[in-house]
Chain A
Amino acid sequence: MINVSSIYKSFNGKDVLRGVDFNIQSGECVVVIGKSGSGKSVLLKHLLGLISPDSGFIKIDGLNLDELTYRELQRVRSKIGMVFQSGALFDSMNVYENLKIAIDRLTNLKQNQIDDRIEQCLDEVGMKETKLLMPSELSGGMKKRVGIARAISFKPDYLFYDEPTTGLDPIMSDTINKLIYKFNKKNKITTLVITHSMKTVFEIADRVLMLNNGKIYFNGSVNDIKNSKDVIISSFVNGKEILDLEYEKQ
């Protein structure tokens, strides 16, 4: 379970997060949406312990990330699989090595078991044939799928995705959404997705959080957000400027 309580964060005097509160239950798939610059990625970095909040706290499985030693924090991180926006594959390693380094580090598997796990993970994301390719030889969608394979390779309890469908064609976006849904429902991995894509929200979310001006502006189900009459929410959901929406109403 993840518990985020009243976190504030500012950079160079600019408030990015201004009292963010929410909980994520075990096995839940929560999608965080919000305009560019609303603090979504900063929030995700807080959850990974890469940034500390100015005030407030984040608890993962009851452990306050800010009170942990570096080693304890590393132990918490080993329960989290992170899929970065660009894939963040290590470009000096091929696909096989990118997965192997994660499994080697975070599990006690033997070499033959590691090889089996890599095969299995790449198969799950439909990338079995790319095992020996370098990241520079992969397309954007392929990099993201390998990134997902790396994130699930050590069987984490939590999976975080940073804008998993950004920059992908609609078919590849659909493939990624299906993978996220599969790992959440089949493997019961607690999932947090940061996205701009409402299609992703509608396809995978159990619950939606909307960040606006550094605060949680909306916290509810997919149906609630679809039917919301709030101008800011419906502007984002429909992808229209607030002024355009008001003009349409008139």
Chain B
Amino acid sequence: MVSTRSTARTLIRPSSLTYVDFPWIIEHREDRCTLCGQCTSVCPREAIHLAYRRKRQPNFEVFGQKRGSEFGVFTGIKQETRMANSCIGCGMCEMVCPNDAIRPVPNDNEHRSLFFRNLNGDSYKRGGRRNQTGPTLLDRILFDRISMLTDPALDAGRHEFTVTTTLGRMLPPDEFLSRMRQGEWIPPTREIFPFIIGSMSFGALSPNMWLGLLQGVAYCNEVLGLPVVMCTGEGGCPPWILKSPYLKYIILQIASGYFGWDEIIRAIPEMQCLPAAIEIKYGQGAKPGDGGLLMWHKVSTLIARLRGVPPGVDLPSPPVHQTLYSIEESVMKMVQTLSMAFDNKVPVYPKISASTSAKSVLNNLVRNPYAGGMVIDGIDGGTGAAYNVSMDATGHPIASCLRECYLDLVRQGKQSEIPLFAAGGIGKNGNVAQNGMALIMLGASGVHLGKYIMQSAAGCLGNEMNRCNVCNLGICPKGITSQNPKLYRRLDQDQVAERLAETFQSINTEVKKIMAPLGRSQSLPIGMSDAIGINDQAAAERLHIKYLC
């Protein structure tokens, strides 16, 4: 009798897994561990525990009498091998460990656990974005038009730049002048910073995160002079914010779930200023054809109150607005209603997921005098919750879709009338200004950032190796996407605001660094595609840009 029988008694099931089957492996160094308990305390998944392991020291004596075994025990931190407690690689254990004794390492083995993400017949849902690593197409675009001695050289640090873009419908000059003279309605526009904080709802985000973003946006506007705006997402907006002067920095989103719109309408008479714009969400790049997916564990009392729903219920939004039946009708009904709601003084525009049908939507917008622009959200966009299959395999990359739409406008001579905004994967590898400016030169008037902002302003741990990505479960270890105060209080609102300000300061500088060599300082190089190229002939042809080699 030599060892415990627990292993002998283990029943092997089809879903029995060992730790090497998981995408993340906990590497624990017993020699460094002080058994302080902080790693197991902080782990959001209860994926690690203190383990007592048996050690057997057999006594081999060929002629002696002392044969037998001695047993001892050693301790260590061990990884769970149940799917429900699988390590997500967030690395919080490493963050709190005083001795650098523990860390998750990505497993480069095959991940057999992938075949068991469907236990109980549930499909795998998660947060984050498409799990595809490596440089994106946007990362590979180079700015190769550089004025040196050919044009007056501009210096990003020395020259003054106007780094803003126009949101809203721009009339052709003759029509503008004629309407001016007649005193007729002129579509509202806004001059905003071209990097916009895209729609992330109060609900998808924790209160500290959402308010931290707004505080940072206010700081950018009021202290740094950067006219940054943010979009609410479909979770509504707290009433005191609707009635505050900061509403002008906010794009209110209306989506198929209509959450929080009762509060918005109720607040209209008391608004001190108008919102920056209204975004009508028809689609999302991360999960085209699917609606919001806020699950019960994130519907706290506060979120329920704000959205006008009972607490603790699932809030899946329908994929489409229930009262719309065709493109023409969608554009007409929605754009006009929302334009009228704010006295036709606020730009109203739709957001769609990048797809082969984007041009059809765009052409309807061109014909609609109230439409103030269009946001196209590509497949690499992030989300707080979606089916993995939607995130990884459904959708269209942003670059070619945006480019096609822009060139379509160019053919109609309308590129200066309807601004296009691009979203989805901007800054995926950290190159936020480069990615954004590449899209601007492909024809975007500006870009929307979501995931990048969470990473930069709040230290989101998610990545495209499927690290963390548990936004949907309400267990965000950084407190960004949790509605549990025990988690979101880990995030300090002021610090988020500070980081946001730093982020935009830096984007602003990098945008200038990209614009200066082009000899541009006073208007964004929207559609200036002669300034970019790529070392991929097929992509160059598709995007109608230079092939660089």
A and B form one complex: no
By a beta-carbon cutoff of 8 Å, the part of chain B in contact with chain A is none
Q: What is the interface of chain A, defined by CB distance below 8 A to chain B? A: none
